[in-house]
Structure 1
Amino acid sequence: MSDDTIRLVTLGRIFRGRWRLLAVLTVVGALAGYGTSVVFPPRYTASVSVLLPGQWEERELLTQVDIATSSSVVDLAAAKLGRPDVSGEELRERVTAQAADGNIITISGTADTPARAQRLADQVAQQFVGFARRIAGGSTDPDAATGTDALRQKVVETDRRITDLAAAADPGRTVEGAQARTSLEKLRTSLEEAMTKLAEADRASDKAGMVVMDAAARPTGAAPPTRGQLIAAGALLFFLLAVVGHLVAARMNRRLRTEADIAAALGSAVLGTVDVPGEPRAHRSEKRGPWARIRRLLGADTPWNVPIQQGPGDEAGMLIRYRRVCVRLRDRLPAPRRLLVVVPDGDEIARRAAGQLAAEAGSDLSPSSSSRGFPLLRVVEVSVDRPIVPDRDTESGALVVLSAGSWTAEELAGLAEACADGGHEVVGTVVADPVGARPTRPADDPPDTGAPALAVRGHAAGGAL
């Protein structure tokens, strides 16, 4: 796993190198959100308020909220609505209630059309009010209210009459008078108990007198999540998943980037780093087929996490790096000899660097006694899946050229073993880095004639020399 810190520059590389893939995935996410909105059509919510007169405690209000959404109330509303295609259980999921300030319960109904949502909210509120009145024994009959007031008036008159009779009775002179006063007091007590029960019934009736404050207003917009929200959420989700996927892949990437790791995997020292003018197609895979064409179309066939560094400034500075590598290679060899330049198959940056390196080594055709001349190099591409290096013949050593961040330690170890099987000692490694395009040579600047054409490539599978 890579230990590189995820910074804004990393996100910038993802956007720059994978913008086509990110755009396609964002569109796919938007289409997925649209498909979700088709499967789950928009919903509309209407609300109605019910006023509860009297004094109510908080737990009593919560009880009324539970009653408003209970199956007893919702099933009655479903029967009134007359929708056999909607079950009572499904309808209960569309009804909600909430206690608000001021002894008000807000009942909300959700349906697939504004009209149905309005009817559902109104019907549930009506059934809730009626159900609460039936529980409390309340009645909306005005004659019943008038009869209750008349009864209360009769009780008051009777109590007054009892007082008069008790005063007129013989004040304790006879046994019959005492018994009469005792009976009158018992009657008074019974009337007081009856008045108390009547007052309690009146308070219960007041609580049962719930009022629907107004009809539910027809909703003008869909309840969240709307179709637009689902489309935006799908696009954003797919975009974020794509970015996170790139970051996770970069964290889990086991390809070697540093010179020390590359040298340890190949078992040879790194002779230097050379620059190759970076072009988008230089990193692209040469594979064919429909999947490769799709990857090329989406820009996924080029590594996004290979930074394009700034070059030395001109062509002469690049050639100096190649010549210095040739000098180090010459100094490591006891005598001038031929070497194979092994390039991993598919590493276009390394192939171009190897060709330029071979051309630079071949440009030294008249070695002096002090320099002994550069070794002759021949480039061969070797598959990293099944590496086979040509057997030792005129060449007596191998120089591995590769780009950083493209190969794992296991793949490079396989290349080193293939070189050993072919009888070639890995005398060194050269790392190729892509750099920005070099500036155009002025018209009056004569071209450098010291670099001939690139060396001829050999067979990737180790053909005849």
Structure 2
Amino acid sequence: MSDESIRLVTIGRIVRRRRRLLTILVVVGALVGYGTSLLFPPRYTTSASVLLPGAWEERELLTQTQIATSSVVVDRAAAKLDWAGVGGSELRDQVSAKAAEGNIVKISGTADTPERAQRLSDQVAQQFVTFAGRIAGDSLDTEEAEQPEALRQMVVRTSRRITELADAADPGRTVESVQTRTELAKLRTALQEAVNKLDESDPAANKAGMVVMGPAARPSGEAPPTRTQLVAGGALLFFLLAVIGHLTAARTNRRLRTEPEIAAALGSTLLGTVDVPGARDRPKDQGSWARVRRLLGADVRWDLPTPRTSGDEAGRQLRYRRVYARLRDRLPAARRLLVLVPDGDETARRAAGQLVAEAGTDPSSGSPGSLSSPGSSNRGYPLLRVVGISVSRPMVPDRGTESGALVVLSAGSWTAGELAGIAEACADAKHEVVGIVLADPVLDRPTRSADRPRDAATPALAVGDNVTGGAR
């Protein structure tokens, strides 16, 4: 399976096992988005288009957009609008301009009402056209505008003088007169072409005369982000934060999952894995925080794999028998053992109870429930007593009638430090950890086989701290 598939499976597991918590967080995020929308009033945006005739380069169009949003243009628009308490500095943040295709500058205005947004865009566009026309030399009283006009007048007078000289020449009587008239005609044509080129290259003639292409349209909807967008964005943001938080917590989780890691942390040998049918047990912690966790559905681990389907009852009992047989083979003689179960590990506690029941029905000795005599050839079998142990402050009873400890726990529930603490507590109490049994939760079959007798199944035992196997 690829990394992408693993990530998708992991996210699906988070959504499936934390749907109640995620639903509450999504609702909280939507409420936060709604509250944010109340802090910011609705805004409306519209645009007015200004056509720039002639040929314009990209740099020149960029310059015109800067002019459209300059302080001079915006201040003039603010003075014309004359809105109470609104000056050019306030309007400068509400006006923007960009160059579009076809030498068009779009001037956008944003306001708290559609009417104000429309008036703002139209007024800024009008002031931009007026100011840009003056910069381009549209006024006739400037020196730059008078010089090309004086040149044109001079060319007209020169052309008229050339015509007079051509008429005064001897009309076609001599070769010299014909050549003179031809040269004067060429000169007059060259002057006219020069004037035409001057008109074409005049920036005041080409780039003046900007036109506002109609009034701005009145906006029909709010400018983004709208209230709906803020609500949806808040819900999505809280959902993503919740998923990322779960993934981060799973990545930093140091609970041991593999059998070699657990065996190394406890310093003993793994005797086997037994199946515990039924769904994962929820912790039975009391208190307000525990009730809140149960309400949110956060009291069950989400990062553990989905339990596999259980086999039949005979197969499960066979696993317990094999584990108990390995335990009996490791002990040189009949002994009493403590079965240590970490507090809160209900799956391990149920497995320990079933193991105690198996110890009480073991047929290896002549009389179940009693230890073999010293002179007997039968080695007997160990007697088991279940004891709960706190992983935060582990405490094991001192060695008395029991000499040794068997640890039963679930994989993926405890860290190396917590298991090492249990091993140290056993060493302090002079108990040897003779073995480890892992309890694996499985899903029970939905229906019972019709051909199997009902009393073949071993009833589950409610195991306390002082349950002893071997006596009926």
The bucket for the TM-score relative to the shorter chain is 0.7 to 0.9
In the alignment, what sits opposite 1:216? 216
In the alignment, what sits opposite 1:102? 102
> What SS does the aligned partner of 1:242 have?
helix
1:379·1:457 contact (CA, 8 Å) conserved in 2? yes
1:305 counterpart = 2:303: yes
The CA deviation string for residues 427-465 of structure 1, in whole angstroms up to 9 with x for no partner, is: 000000110024444577241376684444249xxxxxx
Query: Deviation of residue 361 (structure 1)?
Result: 0.9
TM-aligned CA distance change 1:84 to 1:452, over 3 Å: closer
Segment of structure 1 superposing worse, 398-407 or 90-99: 90-99
Correspondence for 2:453 among 438, 442, 445: 445
1:39 counterpart = 2:47: no
Query: How many residues were matched structurally?
Result: 429
In the alignment, what sits opposite 1:181? none
Using the alignment, how far apart are the partners of 2:411 and 2:298 within structure 1?
A: 18
In the alignment, what sits opposite 1:396? 403
Correspondence for 2:339 among 338, 341, 361: 341
1:313·1:439 contact (CA, 8 Å) conserved in 2? no
In the alignment, what sits opposite 1:92? 92
2:307·2:443 contact (CA, 8 Å) conserved in 1? yes
Using the alignment, how far apart are the partners of 2:213 and 2:309 within structure 1?
A: 78
> What SS does the aligned partner of 1:401 have?
strand
Using the alignment, how far apart are the partners of 1:277 and 1:157 within structure 2?
A: 113
In the alignment, what sits opposite 1:358? 356
Residues 121-136 of structure 1: pairs in structure 2 closer than 5 A: 121-136=121-136
1:237 counterpart = 2:237: yes
In the alignment, what sits opposite 1:374? 381
1:381·1:458 contact (CA, 8 Å) conserved in 2? no
1:278·1:308 contact (CA, 8 Å) conserved in 2? no
Using the alignment, how far apart are the partners of 1:156 and 1:409 within structure 2?
A: 103
Query: Deviation of residue 38 (structure 1)?
Result: 2.2
Task: Give TM-score scaled by structure 1 length.
Answer: 0.82
Task: Give TM-score scaled by structure 2 length.
Answer: 0.81
Segment of structure 1 superposing worse, 223-232 or 120-129: 223-232
Using the alignment, how far apart are the partners of 2:255 and 2:45 within structure 1?
A: 55
> What SS does the aligned partner of 2:54 have?
coil
1:457 counterpart = 2:465: yes
Using the alignment, how far apart are the partners of 2:34 and 2:140 within structure 1?
A: 51
In the alignment, what sits opposite 1:462? none
1:419 counterpart = 2:419: no
Using the alignment, how far apart are the partners of 2:119 and 2:4 within structure 1?
A: 60
TM-aligned CA distance change 1:375 to 1:163, over 3 Å: same
Residues 47-446 of structure 1: pairs in structure 2 closer than 5 A: 47-139=47-139, 156=156, 160=160, 203-204=203-204, 207-280=207-280, 282=281, 284-364=282-362, 367-368=365-366, 372-441=379-448, 445-446=453-454
Query: Deviation of residue 157 (structure 1)?
Result: 6.3
TM-aligned CA distance change 1:381 to 1:20, over 3 Å: same
> What SS does the aligned partner of 1:310 have?
coil
Which amino acid in structure 2 is aligned with residue 328 of structure 1? R
Using the alignment, how far apart are the partners of 2:392 and 2:446 within structure 1?
A: 38
Using the alignment, how far apart are the partners of 2:377 and 2:257 within structure 1?
A: 36
Query: Deviation of residue 346 (structure 1)?
Result: 0.9
2:22·2:242 contact (CA, 8 Å) conserved in 1? yes
Structure 1 residues without counterparts, runs of 5 or longer: 169-191, 460-465
Segment of structure 1 superposing worse, 431-440 or 81-90: 81-90
Query: Deviation of residue 5 (structure 1)?
Result: 8.8
Query: Deviation of residue 420 (structure 1)?
Result: 1.0
1:359·1:454 contact (CA, 8 Å) conserved in 2? no
Using the alignment, how far apart are the partners of 1:82 and 1:412 within structure 2?
A: 77
Segment of structure 1 superposing worse, 230-239 or 251-260: 230-239
Which amino acid in structure 2 is aligned with residue 259 of structure 1? E
Which amino acid in structure 2 is aligned with residue 411 of structure 1? E
Query: Deviation of residue 200 (structure 1)?
Result: 9.2
2:350·2:463 contact (CA, 8 Å) conserved in 1? no
The CA deviation string for residues 195-239 of structure 1, in whole angstroms up to 9 with x for no partner, is: 99x969975155332111100001112222222222222222221
Query: Deviation of residue 396 (structure 1)?
Result: 0.6
Using the alignment, how far apart are the partners of 2:270 and 2:320 within structure 1?
A: 13
> What SS does the aligned partner of 2:218 have?
coil
Which amino acid in structure 1 is aligned with residue 227 of structure 2? R
Segment of structure 1 superposing worse, 242-251 or 33-42: 33-42
Segment of structure 1 superposing worse, 312-321 or 346-355: 312-321
> What SS does the aligned partner of 1:353 have?
helix
Query: Deviation of residue 153 (structure 1)?
Result: 7.8
TM-aligned CA distance change 1:114 to 1:334, over 3 Å: same
Identical residues among aligned pairs (%): 69
CA-based RMSD of the aligned residues comes to 3.6
Using the alignment, how far apart are the partners of 2:444 and 2:354 within structure 1?
A: 16
Query: Deviation of residue 25 (structure 1)?
Result: 1.4
Query: Deviation of residue 86 (structure 1)?
Result: 3.5
In the alignment, what sits opposite 2:23? 23
